Structure 1
Amino acid sequence: MTTKRWSNSSIKNIDDAMDALVEDYFHYDDLSNREAEYIKENFADVNGEGNLILEEVDSANFNFPNEILQNIENAQNHEIDESDKENSSSSKRFRSVTDEDTDSFLALSVNKNTKTKTKSDLKVMLDFFISVGEMRDSVEIPAKDLDSLLSRFFLGVLKKNGDEYEPDSLSSMFNSLDRHLKDSKSSISIKKDPEFNHTRRVLEAKRKALKSLGKGSKPNRAEPLTTEEIQILREKRRYWNT
């Protein structure tokens, strides 16, 4: 029987050490069997009956070479050291972060003006909800009921002085509520869910109606100068500089 011989340098981990241990076991067991056969053949009498008594050795009590056992221990220590190094490296690479930390980070990253606008828009909606007897937070209202409330809100909402809102102001309220629902980790999306098609259609129709009344056109905005007006200004400038 031919077995693979192992050197100290070739044993790098526990698996290699165990392979070496098993192969040495069979190697020495094979040598023992050969030695027994040799003794029987050379020390027996002519009738084949020898006076030499051979006792079978219990393999459980067989002492394996200390070198192999030492290699196993060294391999185990090596793997423990490598594991400790990897764990230490990971602890330096990743800081400990909780779900609450991620929520706080997002809250801090939101622009202050955006927070103020969202809070103001939600207050207007809350006032409307209460006026029609709805006391639940928007996050707790089922999609069907919330769609009905929002479509009525966008159609009928007015400023405190009774004037209509600008079209973009209504859209801003819509976005503020969508942002509030997301921040509250609600599964509802008033921008995407089909349950809110009615609200989105009412909002779009209201925007068009307001624009037809002149809302959103920014009448006080300065109109750009024409080419002729720019030329006149240049000529006047040359006149005053002469």
Structure 2
Amino acid sequence: MTSNKQIAVIVIPTYNEAGSIGEMIEYLNTKTFPSLDQKWDMKILVVDANSPDGTGKIVSEKSKKYSNTFLFAETSKDGIGAAYLKGFKYSMEKLNADFIFEFDGDFQHPPESIPGMLQAMDEGYDYVIGSRKIKGGSNPKGWGFKRVFLSEVGSMIARIVMFFPFKNFFKVTDPTTGLKVTRVKGFVNHLNLDYSHLYTKSFGYKFQLLFETLKLGAKFKEVPLIFNVRTTGESKIEKQAT
């Protein structure tokens, strides 16, 4: 029997996430996905960069418990941008994705954001972005002045470089966000998924994919993102430095 559900794949890149990835997979499958089951076929794809702490083994075990959970084991650590592009390609070719999420595995991105983002996609948007800068969104209360300042300055510089003086300068409030969902047809499947074309292996990929997706004419919407404090593992800034 053919299902008419749309397939949404949550791509989670990991490196040394053994302290949180199992809990995230359980939470998504038991708390987040059941309310979406009537309309959406939800899948999880973890792209693990050969973590020495056993992250991949945890995901592999969870995939035996949950048939919607998959592990893509990288043989080399090519950066978070490359991990996402590998995940996008796998999601399209192997999982028949209609929509693809960029998502953290450490609960900094709240799973509670997922239903609202899918609702926006169902309303006809092609690209939904979690923003800390709009009403209802926020950075972690524990962030110090320096980190908030760097985030704000980085965001402003990125908006100026990519969009000024065009309308998206005013419409995109949080270009450094890592929480997004993108429609595959007409957008992800039109991106260059060869990660060698990325200008940087680290967080600059966010700006590049944002710019390239909007250049394709994606109808986009921002939704509030309450960015949580990381409680386990390494920060992604530390990951990129190694």
Q: TM-score range by the shorter chain?
A: under 0.3
**Which gives a bigger RCO, structure 1 or 2 (Cα 8 Å, sep 6+)?**
2
TM-score, normalising length from structure 2?
0.19
Q: Find the structure with the greater CA-based Rg.
A: 1
**Structure with the largest fraction of strand:** 2
